[in-house]
């Protein structure tokens, strides 16, 4: 449960209820303390997230916790100053101790428009938040939603409500045609009438708040905040058990333009790609869904490279600073153990990126993944990626990736 979500709408803190049984397993980390943070945004108090920081030492590792996902980040202490670094996202949180376990500072991150900054406030906790406390309880109540966003369009919400003594935690994700919002966590509060979910991973900071209809379970008066300024409204209809609501097939979102059968990339006519089965990944190191896809590609490369499989990642980065972009590419490769070729291809603006690959009718999402037969013809194009937070959808995506990879390898 995230007590700060309550403060977002002026409700009483549920801090005294945070001695509930856990909904989500979290690793024991002796020598670390839980902290609750909030990133300031327009119009509401902030986007909450949890982290565990070392109790002592000047350099080491801190951990950001989003539902089931624990992300290690670089930690440094210099007197009363604390720094958390996310080098793979070119992102930093700089904090100063403010007494009584409080921390204050700012999160900075490179964006296409330049460096952006959000104020951060934190508080050391005496006990683990309820979602991560020591004892387990019942299976969560699972719900699926057909969602409609004011600007972003349709989405599917996958929400688990964890019934715990005195509090109801919530975890899940939201799946869109371009990918998912990763591991969301939060709470059902105000006596079951409101839902709040958020995530912070060093790249994106998201907050979702909505009213819950007590009769239908539908969500109304929904508000989505991203970073310091983005805001849009949404509604969501709770789906009946067995009711289907599907987003567009990610294999149908992007196609070759009429008359084309090949990607038309000169690099593919050269070694080691010519005559070999190849996966081309359109990606950016700034993109969390691309980071989620990377382990799947690493597995495919390790399994099929001896059979000729090649991978080429085309990197579309936030700025035209080539030195910075190459540094971020190396960090991406190191983080995931990726050993294939990564080529700096342009900037992340989708319309500009599409001009570099005119054989495609569009680039709608990062990542976009393309399977190419040994004869150079395109077999399939997949737009977006359903990451681990989507559960069964993620497993379906991995199976589809494996099937297509076997097909182009066997066509050799």
Full DSSP string of 314-356: EEEESSS-HHHHHHHHHHHHHHHT--SEEEEEEES-HHHHHHT
Contact 264, 359 (CB under 8 A): yes
Closest CA to 11 of 132, 187, 171: 187
Helix (H, G, I), strand (E, B) or coil at 289: helix
Q: Where, residue-wise, is CATH 3.40.30.10 in the chain?
A: 266-410
Per-residue pLDDT of the chain (412 residues; tens, 9 = 90+): 344 443 343 332 222 222 233 568 888 899 999 999 999 987 666 899 999 999 999 999 999 999 999 999 999 999 999 999 999 999 999 999 999 999 999 999 988 888 899 999 999 999 999 888 764 456 788 999 999 999 999 999 999 998 877 778 999 999 999 999 999 999 999 888 999 999 999 999 999 999 999 999 999 999 999 988 899 999 999 999 999 899 999 999 999 999 999 999 999 999 999 999 999 999 999 999 999 999 999 999 999 999 999 999 999 999 999 999 999 999 999 999 999 999 999 999 999 999 999 999 999 999 999 999 999 999 999 999 999 999 999 999 999 999 999 999 999 8
CATH 2.40.128.120 occupies which residues in the chain?
A: 136-238
On whether the CB atoms of residues 29 and 67 are closer than 8 A, the answer is: no
Q: Which fold has domain 136-238?
A: Lipocalin (2.40.128)
CA atoms within 13 A on the CB side of 105: 18
Give span(s): CATH 2.40.160, the chain: 3-131
Is 357 within 8 Å of 262 (Cβ atoms)?
no
Question: Would you identify the CATH topology of the domain 266-410?
Answer: Glutaredoxin (3.40.30)
Is CATH 2.40.160 the right assignment for the domain spanning 3-131? yes
- What is the rounded distance in angstroms from the CA atom of residue 361 to the CA atom of residue 355? 10
Quick one: which of 377, 401, 403, 359 has its CA closest to 275?
377
pLDDT at 10: 34
CA nearest to 304, candidates 404, 160, 389, 204: 404
Residues 330 and 71: their CA atoms lie apart, in Å, by: 19
């Amino acid at each position: 449960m995230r007590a700060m979500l309550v403060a977002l709408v002026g409700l009483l803190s549920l801090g005294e209820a945070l001695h509930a049984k856990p909904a989500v397993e979290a690793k024991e980390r002796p020598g670390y303390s839980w902290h609750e943070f909030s990133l300031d945004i327009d119009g509401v108090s902030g986007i909450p997230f949890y982290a565990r920081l070392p109790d002592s030492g000047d350099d080491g590792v801190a951990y950001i916790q989003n539902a089931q996902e624990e992300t290690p980040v670089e930690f440094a202490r210099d007197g009363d100053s604390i720094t958390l670094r996310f080098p793979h996202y070119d992102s930093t949180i700089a904090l100063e101790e403010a007494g009584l376990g409080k921390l204050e500072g700012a999160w900075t991150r490179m964006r296409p428009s330049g460096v952006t900054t959000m104020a951060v406030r934190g508080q050391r906790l005496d006990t683990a938040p309820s979602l991560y406390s020591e004892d387990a309880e019942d299976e969560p109540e699972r719900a699926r939603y057909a969602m409609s966003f004011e600007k972003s369009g349709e989405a599917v919400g996958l929400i688990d409500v964890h019934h715990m003594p005195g509090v109801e935690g919530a975890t899940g994700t939201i799946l869109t045609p371009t990918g998912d919002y990763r591991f969301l966590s939060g709470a059902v509060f105000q006596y079951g009438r409101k839902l709040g979910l958020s995530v912070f991973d060093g790249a994106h900071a998201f907050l979702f708040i909505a009213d819950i209809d007590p009769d239908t379970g539908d969500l109304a008066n929904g508000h989505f905040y991203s970073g310091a300024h983005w805001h849009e409204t949404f509604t969501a209809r709770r789906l009946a058990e067995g009711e289907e609501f599907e987003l567009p097939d990610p294999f149908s979102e992007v196609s070759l333009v009429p008359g084309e059968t090949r990607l038309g990339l000169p690099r593919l006519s050269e070694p080691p790609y010519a005559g070999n089965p190849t996966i081309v990944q359109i990606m950016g190191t700034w993109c969390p869904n691309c980071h989620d896809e990377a382990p799947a590609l690493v597995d495919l490369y390790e399994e099929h490279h001896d059979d000729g499989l090649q991978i080429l990642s085309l990197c579309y980065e936030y700025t035209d600073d080539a030195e910075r972009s190459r540094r971020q590419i190396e960090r991406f490769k190191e983080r995931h153990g990726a050993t294939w070729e990564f080529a700096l291809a342009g900037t992340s603006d989708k319309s500009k990126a599409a001009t570099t690959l005119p054989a495609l009718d569009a680039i709608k999402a990062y990542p976009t993944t393309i399977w190419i037969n040994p004869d150079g013809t395109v077999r399939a194009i997949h737009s977006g990626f359903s990451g681990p937070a989507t559960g069964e959808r993620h497993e379906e995506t991995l199976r589809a990736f494996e099937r297509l990879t076997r097909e182009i390898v066997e066509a050799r």
